[in-house]
Amino acid sequence: MNFMKQWCGAIIAVMSGGAVFATEPPATIDVKGKDAALISSSVIPIPLEVFTALDKLGAQDWDSQLEKRDFNPSPDRSRSALLFGLAISQGFLAVQAKNDAEVKRVGMAVQRLAHPLGVESPVEKRIKVIMESLSDKNWNEVKQEFDKTRQTVLKEMKVMRDEDLTSLVALGGWLGGTGALSSILKENYSPEGSDLLNQAGLLMQLKADFQKLPEGIKSDEIFAKIDATLNTLEKLMENSGTGIFTLAEVSKIHDETHHLLDAIYQD
């Protein structure tokens, strides 16, 4: 159910300020609302805000959505940026599942992935706080620190003029969230819940940012698969005039997303 929208963010982006929490779970995610973050040219919902919205789906088996795969840093910084976004999304999900071991494992993976991105020092400080908060079972603080880690990395990359890689961090996070949400909805389908997958505007922005990336950034064969998957998902979302997806369409989004995630996770 879940974290997809949250990751959408979570996805994603250099926030200009602190995290914003909603007192009432919003029915839908407004990517142009006051609780959105402007990063580069993309507007992305704040991860914690999105998680709140996803709570409208009720209790879910969050732990079953944990990928528990290895995040192996790549000499290709573009792939490492995608993996970093995925790792952050898994961190949020591990917190939601209150899975101590997975929070620790993902935290260490985030730290490893920070090295090829050149942001290991600020990330190390954030991971230390995450581990301290985890020992106190302060789940809210752990969740906030994962979000601060994401914010810190995106800001540092912007300072280093690595804006192209920030787009890939955002995309990796969104894909991770979409994969989890589509899995939940495939297993526990409801028309109302499927509306959380209706992210045509957000997908259009992510796709536009991806297409603007220099060809040198997209030299790995994985990027051809990303392009094809984004095109397929965009058509699916554009054709949903009501914003409601059928179970077959949810399954299609699930399959497309997970095939791409499999390819990104591969060494």
* Tens digit of each residue's pLDDT (9 = 90 or more) over 249-262: 999 999 999 999 99
The tens digit of pLDDT for each residue in 155-195 reads 888 888 888 888 898 899 889 888 888 888 898 898 888 88
What's this model's pTM, rounded to 2 decimal places? 0.81
Domain that holds residue 95: 3-265
pLDDT tens-digit map of 71-125: 888 888 889 999 998 998 898 888 888 999 999 999 999 999 999 988 989 999 9
Residue 235 in this model has a pLDDT that exceeds 70: yes
| 107 in Cβ contact with 127 (< 8 Å) | yes
Whether 88 and 69 have beta carbons less than 8 Å apart is answered as no
* Integer Cα distance of 258 and 265 in angstroms: 10
* pLDDT for the residue numbered 50: 52
Tokens of 107: 């935290």
Contact 85, 173 (CB under 8 A): yes
Tally of domains within the chain: 1
Q: Nearest Cα to 11, choosing from 76, 86, 83?
A: 86
What gap in Å lies between CA 158 and CA 151, rounded to an integer? 11
For residues 18-38, average pLDDT: 37
Closest CA to 117 of 146, 155, 89, 145: 155
Size (the chain), residues:
267
Q: Is the pLDDT of residue 11 over 70?
A: no
Compute the mean pLDDT over every residue in the chain, rounded to the nearest whole number: 78
**DSSP at 185:** H
